[in-house]
Structure 1
Amino acid sequence: MAHPSSYRPKPGEIPTDPGVYRFRDKDGRVIYVGKAKSLRSRLSSYFQDIGQLHPRTASMVTSGASVEWTVVTTEVEALQLEYSWIKEFDPRFNVKYRDDKSYPYLAVTMGEEFPRAQVMRGAKRKGTRYFGPYAHAWAIRETLDQAMRVFPMRTCSAGVFKRAGQVGRPCLLGYIDKCSAPCVGRVDADEHRAIAEEFCDFMAGESSRFVKRLDKKMREASDALEFEQAARLRDDIAALERVLEKSAVVFGDGTDADVFALADDELEVAVQVFHVRGGRIRGQRGWVAEKEFETVPEVVGHLLQQLYGGEEGEGVPREVLVPVLPEDAASMGDWLSGLRGSRVDLRVPQRGDKKTLMETVERNATQSLARHKVARAGDLTARSQALQQLQEFLELDESPLRIECYDISHVQGTQVVGSMVVFEDGLARKGEYRRFIIRGHEDGDAAPSEGPVTIDDTAAMHEVLTRRFRRYLKDRDEPRGLDEETGRPTRFAYPPQLVVVDGGLPQVNAAARAIEDLGIVDVAVVGLAKRLEEVWVPGQDFPVVLPRTSEGLYLLQRLRDEAHRFAITFHRQRRSKAMTNSALDGIPGLGEVKRKALLRHFGSVKKIRAAEPAELAEVSGIGPTLAATIHRELSGTPMEPTVNLMTGEIIDDERGNDA
């Protein structure tokens, strides 16, 4: 680790303008991104006496090897650039103040001809309206089940919708009047869209209008002595009221707002946010993150930046209520307004219903932090202890902050694959995981072999490590570990301190030989054998035995199990794909487009096999030569041997007969 004074820029070189800065480690990897109103003032604060710095800050500046900055015009530009760089480089010292869970939303695909209501996760799509997020998918399904009595819109998949139209019969929901059955023409596209728009209006907060309308219809039906119709309308009103009961009214003026609250200690911060739409609580989210070397206003600023940075305009409400204002509140407000496309009110509630709701959210955050501390007590200490134990038992020069573990998976030497999992600071870094298809060649640039690859574990391990570290050597020579074309970080631009392989001494020696052959000497290699959980070191006849209760052994076991899970999942995917391959696969010159054309023309592989070459050549894109090849491959007819007319010698015999 470098001392900060070794790469400290001269004070006169640093501008006083606003901007964004990046710290890089010795391998050129970005480890921290920050912004500042004055770059000179902010960067100077990092290069003071290390003993006066926050422990996390001290760890960051000692892990760094260089610092660079980009000057911008305004603080809003700094916010945008900082978010872009954090998203692109994913620096290890930038704490994520939002969870990585995918919360379910109630989505209505208004961009389709026949809109569909469904549970949807992940990135938001254009032309789709979202309501939520919900804590559980079953809560959305319960809501839909109740609401479809009044708003009978489509909820089926595209395949079900298409099949119903082909057979002329709706699904069960169509028969019980929970779908208007546009698939069979009961309603046209315009009528169905009107139902979907009314459903969206109801979910957006205009609920009283629909309840009053149903109540009026119910009374009219009762006065006309149509008691069955009145009873149905009564049940519809009850269904809507049950939907409304799930989202309590908190603001009588129909406000759209996100209400944030924090609870923190020296190490961690708990975040809670209530999503209020149309005056009703439509969703709730909560998570706990490690606390960065920041004040609470800075935490709030980064929280808003990360939560709304990837959102479309409709994801930002009219009001954002926070416990304290971020340091650059005016710039943050302008940035949020730019995302929304209209003014966003960023403020701290002082009185009334909004202050009361803020107190409720704060109680949730406090309780969440308390539960988390009980459940995860000692976890940070345990991780630090595990890394220290590995350094001690394996006699490493420094703590293995980055550990990579490799495993091989196959069935009797076929469909061989490898996996690489990465732990940094004792935690899984799933974005760095990689999968390898074993080619059967030690040369990483060789083409994949045809057919199933049969290879033993040691050869496969040697190939995987060779390919990984050959790529590291190539990426290391790129400028600052960045791709020349895209400017993004390369995959393997920096090495681990420790490589762990799943296996005993043979696998360890194969891995060590692969790394040594490439001239790399600063990466330690060990293996963890399953039978007695022994740790093998290259070139040693006896294993290193870690205490059964040690945190170091537990960390190695987690690495090994994760690598095994990742490898066997990939192997099963490839094996399943291989078992379902068509007889048309592997025919030379027959690609996916031509295979589909053949199947469309003949209807099945059986009919293709029975067809003559002339019939095959009638298909668009299939020439006489390819037709003959397909007929030969499917019928099993051997190719006629080529004979030298002068000598009578067979010069090209695929059957392998002697001349």
Structure 2
Amino acid sequence: MYRFRDPHGRVIYVGKAKNLRSRLNSYFANPAGLLPKTHAMVHAASSVEWTVVASELESLQLEYTWIKEFKPRFNVVFRDDKSYPYLAVTMGEKLPRVQVLRGERRKGTRYFGPYTAGAIRETMDTLLRVFPVRSCSPGVLKRAQASGRPCLLGYIDKCSAPCVGRVTPEEHRQLAEDFCAFMGGEAGRFIRRLEKEMADAVAGLDYERAARVRDDIAALRKVFERNAVVLSEDTEADVFALHEDDLEASVQVFHVRGGRIRGQRGWVVEKVEDMTTPELIEHLLQQVYGEDGEYQERIPREVLVPESPANHAELIEWLGGLRGAKVDVRVPQRGDKAALMSTVRENAEQALKLHKVRRAGDITVRSQALQELQEALELPVPLLRIECFDISHVQGTNVVASMVVVEDGLPKKADYRKFSITGDAARDDTAAMHDVLTRRFRHYLQDKAAQPPKSGEIQSGEIPSGAGEEPSDEPKPTAPAAKAKFAYPPNLVVVDGGQPQVNAAARALAGLGIDDVYVVGLAKRLEEVWLPDSDFPVILPRTSQGLYLLQRIRDEAHRFAITFHRQKRGKAMTVSALDGVPGLGEAKRKALLSHFGSLKKIKAASVAELTGAKGIGPALAEAVSRHLGEAAERDGAAVAVNMTTGEILES
């Protein structure tokens, strides 16, 4: 096993070889004969490390572990096209929830699909009629529990309303189990049970109940019959097919359960290394089945592939260990399974064609934008990573900042960060910008200094970010990816503002002794690009792709900062409204908010209703009601005075 690292210590490639000398010689041969991506990888690497293992099975497991931990940029990564959502049931929660999810899988959640966007909503809506499992968000659930009234779905019988005690948590969990069992292929059992209930209702002359059960049966049959039967009913298999050229490969998989196609997924992967089809299939199965999740539910008895994968025996042993039972990985030669394989292969071919049509425009535009920007700013390095900073506040209160990251022209939301700014740094935008840039790059220097290289190798710079930064509200990365936040510096820093903000950012970098990171500012009024200590801005043409890229980055940073500012302001307003009530400490304030769900409901509550919250007695309830009433009168008077002068202020 070997790893290439870049000058910053990041692992950029992981591989395995029986003969390490021969493999490394193939990388450092004549560069003219290397593939473009391999050429880029070799020139980006600054060191190589290796680890000796005892068997090919151990190398397979270690390779997968390293790829998941380091996420090397130049390894083959099968990126799901994200166009198909999944029907998910959060069995890890006390009250399981049915919802539509995309992206990475979460622990304790059972997934079914993928489906098309329209089909999944229709399927979910139909099944909630028969299995009324909770589908509301945590916020709606808390409000219903606090108010004692279910949401609309509870009133129309598409939710069993465990929030208000119509069913016990155990009964609700059984509904969720039945939902999962039906989606897992046990539809016949539920349809037969409902048919018996309908017959019993008819025998008892309860025709209204019989009609409801009849409609439930029709709903289940509609969902059950949506997927065509393609193989025998006892078939459980995943059917993979590839279509590739010299640079990319398209992968399609059909999930067959109970003889029916239950879902489909697709990937397009860049072929960084000179990899054969069997090796590509090996990596594919590693990444698809090695993801964290419910292994025994996701790995079927059969995995059908177009060619036998590399390390076939070790791969079967590894998959069998994950599933807890034997897994058959084979190539179908004839019959219905071979026919289905040809259908999947045709889908892969069409997907690659569609991908190339879409990607041609995207890559061209992104490359053009980065090149135009580099030339216009006369920068000596390519803009592989850009970070943009923005400050947000209202009249100097609740000052916050955002940092958004773009790599290769695309947002990298896992690296977005948020900063709270207090003290002297909050006095104006330039001071706040100086503070944020100082903190961001101080962390970079600390992380860099905290990792002395071991003998013979360069250590990875992936160290958790320092204190003082707020967690991002963007989708959370997995644990290994969450490590690298400040250890990798940008090529370009973009600040939202003109010359003062740019100069403040440049002073922050100079104060830390950083001279290899370039700074520009984008002023909103005329979309001018400012450089440090420059008397005149750089004017990019309005049709410039480089300017458009800067605008998109700036707008994303502004959106991210505004979102965080509103969150902080909302919390501050809630807390400040209850400040000053004698005897109301933090614990009792939290109890009030937990019981009623919002400040608005607390204001609307009577004294008797306020005593329903934990720890709130009659005297304290009276004090809270009087305090909020006086505050409302003051706010109303303030608004009236301002309106008489012709000026309206936000209360």
Provide TM-score, normalisation by structure 1: 0.77
Partner SS, residue 459 of structure 1? helix
Compared CA separation, residues 492 and 214, structure 1 to 2 (3 A):
closer
Match of 1:245 in 2: 225
**1:392-414 superposed Cα distances (whole Å, 9 cap, x missing partner):** 22222221222222222222222
- Structure-1 separation of matches of 2:413 and 2:47: 26
Shift of 1:587: 10
Compared CA separation, residues 414 and 267, structure 1 to 2 (3 A):
farther
Compared CA separation, residues 515 and 100, structure 1 to 2 (3 A):
farther
Shift of 1:386: 3.0
- Structure-2 separation of matches of 1:316 and 1:42: 33
Question: Do the aligned residues in 1 keep the contact of 2:131 with 2:179 (CA within 8 Å)?
Answer: no
Shift of 1:496: 1.8
Name the amino acid aligned to 2:329. L
- Structure-2 separation of matches of 1:102 and 1:437: 36
Compared CA separation, residues 191 and 506, structure 1 to 2 (3 A):
closer
Name the amino acid aligned to 1:476. K
- Structure-2 separation of matches of 1:107 and 1:338: 25
Name the amino acid aligned to 2:15. G
Name the amino acid aligned to 2:416. Y
Partner SS, residue 380 of structure 1? helix
Match of 1:532 in 2: 526
Is 1:388–2:371 an aligned residue pair? yes
Question: Do the aligned residues in 1 keep the contact of 2:146 with 2:596 (CA within 8 Å)?
Answer: no
Q: Which moved more, 1:508-517 or 1:303-312?
A: 303-312
Is 1:57–2:4 an aligned residue pair? no
Partner SS, residue 546 of structure 1? coil
Match of 1:154 in 2: 133
Question: Do the aligned residues in 2 keep the contact of 1:152 with 1:177 (CA within 8 Å)?
Answer: no
Identity %: 66
- CA RMSD, 1 decimal: 4.5
Q: Give the count of matched residue pairs.
A: 593
**1:52-74 superposed Cα distances (whole Å, 9 cap, x missing partner):** 11111111111111111222223
- Structure-2 separation of matches of 1:564 and 1:37: 51
Compared CA separation, residues 557 and 588, structure 1 to 2 (3 A):
farther
Shift of 1:234: 4.2
Q: Which moved more, 1:383-392 or 1:96-105?
A: 96-105
Q: Which moved more, 1:576-585 or 1:416-425?
A: 576-585
Match of 1:556 among 524, 545, 550: 550
Match of 1:83 among 64, 83, 93: 64
- Structure-1 separation of matches of 2:548 and 2:149: 58
Match of 1:304 among 279, 282, 285: 285
Shift of 1:90: 2.5
Compared CA separation, residues 411 and 265, structure 1 to 2 (3 A):
farther
Match of 2:187 among 187, 192, 207: 207
Is 1:496–2:490 an aligned residue pair? yes
User: How do residues 32-51 of structure 1 correspond to structure 2 at under 5 angstroms?
Assistant: 32-51=13-32
**1:104-136 superposed Cα distances (whole Å, 9 cap, x missing partner):** 443456667776655456665666544323333
Question: Do the aligned residues in 2 keep the contact of 1:272 with 1:362 (CA within 8 Å)?
Answer: yes
Compared CA separation, residues 619 and 33, structure 1 to 2 (3 A):
same
**1:226-261 superposed Cα distances (whole Å, 9 cap, x missing partner):** 766665554343222211122222221322222222
Is 1:106–2:87 an aligned residue pair? yes
Compared CA separation, residues 568 and 356, structure 1 to 2 (3 A):
same
User: How do residues 505-524 of structure 1 correspond to structure 2 at under 5 angstroms?
Assistant: 505-524=499-518
Question: Do the aligned residues in 2 keep the contact of 1:98 with 1:306 (CA within 8 Å)?
Answer: no
Partner SS, residue 73 of structure 2? coil
Question: Do the aligned residues in 2 keep the contact of 1:104 with 1:121 (CA within 8 Å)?
Answer: yes
Compared CA separation, residues 526 and 360, structure 1 to 2 (3 A):
same
Match of 1:655 in 2: none
Compared CA separation, residues 299 and 380, structure 1 to 2 (3 A):
farther
Match of 2:250 among 260, 270, 288: 270
Shift of 1:102: 9.2
Shift of 1:204: 2.1
Compared CA separation, residues 65 and 115, structure 1 to 2 (3 A):
closer
Question: Do the aligned residues in 2 keep the contact of 1:508 with 1:525 (CA within 8 Å)?
Answer: yes
- Structure-1 separation of matches of 2:596 and 2:257: 55
- Structure-2 separation of matches of 1:145 and 1:278: 23
- Structure-1 separation of matches of 2:66 and 2:332: 32
Compared CA separation, residues 105 and 291, structure 1 to 2 (3 A):
same
Match of 2:575 in 1: 581
Match of 1:339 in 2: 322
Name the amino acid aligned to 1:426. G
Shift of 1:373: 2.3
Question: Do the aligned residues in 2 keep the contact of 1:98 with 1:303 (CA within 8 Å)?
Answer: no
Question: Do the aligned residues in 1 keep the contact of 2:134 with 2:160 (CA within 8 Å)?
Answer: no
Match of 2:565 in 1: 571
Shift of 1:222: 6.7
Match of 1:321 in 2: 304
Partner SS, residue 80 of structure 1? helix
Question: Do the aligned residues in 2 keep the contact of 1:205 with 1:254 (CA within 8 Å)?
Answer: no
Question: Do the aligned residues in 1 keep the contact of 2:463 with 2:487 (CA within 8 Å)?
Answer: no
Compared CA separation, residues 437 and 344, structure 1 to 2 (3 A):
same
Is 1:435–2:407 an aligned residue pair? no
Compared CA separation, residues 177 and 351, structure 1 to 2 (3 A):
same
Shift of 1:175: 7.3
Q: Which moved more, 1:167-176 or 1:74-83?
A: 167-176
Is 1:397–2:380 an aligned residue pair? yes
Name the amino acid aligned to 2:32. G
- Structure-2 separation of matches of 1:544 and 1:176: 61
**1:132-179 superposed Cα distances (whole Å, 9 cap, x missing partner):** 23333x634433443455x44433658888998999998777777666
Partner SS, residue 485 of structure 2? coil
Shift of 1:586: 9.4
Q: Which moved more, 1:386-395 or 1:340-349?
A: 386-395
Compared CA separation, residues 415 and 232, structure 1 to 2 (3 A):
closer
Compared CA separation, residues 58 and 231, structure 1 to 2 (3 A):
same
Question: Do the aligned residues in 1 keep the contact of 2:147 with 2:596 (CA within 8 Å)?
Answer: no
Compared CA separation, residues 530 and 295, structure 1 to 2 (3 A):
farther
Which structure: larger Rg? 1
- Structure-2 separation of matches of 1:323 and 1:407: 50
**1:617-655 superposed Cα distances (whole Å, 9 cap, x missing partner):** x979xxxxxxxxx9xx9999xxxxxxxxxxxxxxxxxxx
- Structure-2 separation of matches of 1:493 and 1:152: 49
Question: Do the aligned residues in 1 keep the contact of 2:320 with 2:326 (CA within 8 Å)?
Answer: yes
Question: Do the aligned residues in 1 keep the contact of 2:502 with 2:521 (CA within 8 Å)?
Answer: yes
Compared CA separation, residues 47 and 154, structure 1 to 2 (3 A):
same
Compared CA separation, residues 602 and 552, structure 1 to 2 (3 A):
closer
Shift of 1:483: 3.9
Name the amino acid aligned to 1:345. D
Partner SS, residue 16 of structure 2? strand
Is 1:260–2:260 an aligned residue pair? no
Partner SS, residue 93 of structure 1? coil
Shift of 1:598: 8.5
Match of 1:285 in 2: 265
Name the amino acid aligned to 1:316. I
Match of 1:639 in 2: none
Shift of 1:569: 2.0
- Structure-1 separation of matches of 2:464 and 2:545: 41
Compared CA separation, residues 291 and 533, structure 1 to 2 (3 A):
farther
Compared CA separation, residues 129 and 92, structure 1 to 2 (3 A):
closer
Partner SS, residue 435 of structure 1? strand
Question: Which structure carries more relative contact order (alpha carbon 8 Å, separation 6+)?
Answer: 2
- Structure-1 separation of matches of 2:502 and 2:143: 55
Name the amino acid aligned to 1:364. N
Compared CA separation, residues 159 and 459, structure 1 to 2 (3 A):
closer
Match of 1:640 in 2: none
Match of 1:546 in 2: 540
- Structure-1 separation of matches of 2:509 and 2:519: 9
